[in-house]
Structure 1
Amino acid sequence: MTHTNQALSNKPYLAIFALDETLIAADSASLWSEFITTKGLASKSQLAEEQELMTAYTKGTLDMNTYMQATLKPIIGMDSHTLAQLVKEFIERKIKPAFYTEAISRIEWHKRRGDKVLVISATGEHLVKPIAKMLGADDAIAINLEQINDIITGNTIGTLSYQQGKVIRMKAWIADQDIQFKGSYGYSDSINDLPLLDAVDRPFAVNPDPALALHAQMQDWTIMDWRHENNILR
């Protein structure tokens, strides 16, 4: 083996996972909206607005700025500690039971190989980052929230990790790393993540929506069927 090949073999792969409907059998942002409504922090009309916007997401036509403005309203003015405690309860009650068993196994498979695991989601960082940490991911990319004096303003910061924005954020993240990767895996369920899946070396369509399923079949991508078994992550 040449020195170049040996150096390459020592490099890890990067495994990128979408979150909603890929790692969990639900949409975390929608579950969050329902959760804070039951807590009295959001109105039923705000919940209905979120559900209507999610219909546009499914079609691939959602304006993410509009969605974030609508869904962040209930936590405007909240301090980060209060929000973190609320998110902790939310994850225990709503997220842990929704994980796909196969998703957990796949992340563990990558970790055993020495791969780096990155979760990229078009959901707010207040939800994505603690979920990714709980799963043992090495890092997470999500929509960044503005805080002033530790208070949530309801505004977002920087490029939104949505559609092509996921690729922009991923490339920036890779550029910041101290290591080089041998290659990349990507897992998603949504046609919204087509730019991301096109950007990785080994794309996988997980429980794909109809549009992504058709594209995956045409490109001869691996399609994975992960079943929900009311798993409780331990």
Structure 2
Amino acid sequence: MALALFDLDDTLLDGDTASLWFEHMVARGWADAAMAQQEQALMARYYAGTLAMEEYMAFTLSPLADRSQAEVADEVALCLTERILPRLYPEAQALLQRYREQGDRLIIVSASGEHIVRPVAAHLGVQEVLAIELEQADGRYTGRTQGVLSFQAGKVTRLRQWLGDELDLLGSHGYSDSINDLPLLELVQHAHVVNPGERLARLAQARGWESLQWGG
């Protein structure tokens, strides 16, 4: 049984779940419309590989402060139906099924919040998820994160913490679209890039990594 590690945003779907969720919060009145432009400015820094994830999470989690887990879960479910699930790549779902049939161990490792990532993973039939953890108190979100953020090298840190002595990279595969996931791609035995940006595409070509173009 080999490891198959998948980024989520812009890898398994055409879009970023955190941004789609923020759009949903604006539409539902949880966040001010003016905040949408700020979120997009932060995302531009993410794609450039210059974002401090702590800053992004503090900003985008502020609308969740003091909201109950149940209330947020209901809105996330609505967002998934309307905005996220229609964007899943059929190629990604087929590949996940292929690994599942081979008996491999599937793990989604994402830099988005667990409140979004876990429901998407459940829809995809992936049981193991490493995502940014949200702090809670008395059943309500505080608007803060906790633990190591699963972003850039933090993805590898979280993976090592999760698997411990079970971490076996023999035959392992990793998939991502982002230069931010270079530490994860360098960890696995077989790296694959999905619709990569220019920097990652050049690097993949130089290193002989498979480059996939999904979504037509």
Please say whether Structure 1 and Structure 2 have the same fold, judged by a TM-score greater than 0.5. yes
**8 Å contact kept, 1:77–1:151:** yes
Rounded Cα–Cα distance in structure 1 between residues aligned with 2:127 and 2:15:
22
Q: Superposition RMSD on alpha carbons, in Å?
A: 1.3
Counterpart position of 2:158? 169
Counterpart position of 1:225? 213
Rounded Cα–Cα distance in structure 2 between residues aligned with 1:16 and 1:189:
13
Match of 2:144 among 139, 155, 169: 155
Rounded Cα–Cα distance in structure 2 between residues aligned with 1:147 and 1:90:
21
- Helix, strand or coil at the partner of 2:126: coil
Counterparts of 1:3-152 in structure 2, within 5 Å, are 12-152=1-141
- Helix, strand or coil at the partner of 1:68: helix
- Helix, strand or coil at the partner of 1:40: coil
Rounded Cα–Cα distance in structure 1 between residues aligned with 2:113 and 2:119:
11
Rounded Cα–Cα distance in structure 1 between residues aligned with 2:22 and 2:119:
17
**8 Å contact kept, 2:6–2:108:** yes
- Helix, strand or coil at the partner of 1:72: helix
Residues 125-177 of structure 1, C-alpha deviations (whole Å, 9 max, x = no match) = 00001111110113100000000001100111110000000010111112175
**8 Å contact kept, 1:189–1:209:** yes
Counterpart position of 1:193? 181
Opposite residue 188 of structure 2, the aligned amino acid is: V
Give % identity: 42
Opposite residue 220 of structure 1, the aligned amino acid is: G
Rounded Cα–Cα distance in structure 2 between residues aligned with 1:89 and 1:136:
19
Q: What is the number of residues matched between the two proteins?
A: 216
User: Structure 2, unaligned stretches of length 5 or more?
Assistant: none
**8 Å contact kept, 2:192–2:210:** yes
- Helix, strand or coil at the partner of 1:123: strand
Opposite residue 172 of structure 1, the aligned amino acid is: Q
TM-score (normalised: structure 1) = 0.90
User: Structure 1, unaligned stretches of length 5 or more?
Assistant: 1-11, 229-234
Instruction: Report the Cα offset of residue 79 of structure 1.
Output: 0.5
Rounded Cα–Cα distance in structure 1 between residues aligned with 2:107 and 2:194:
16
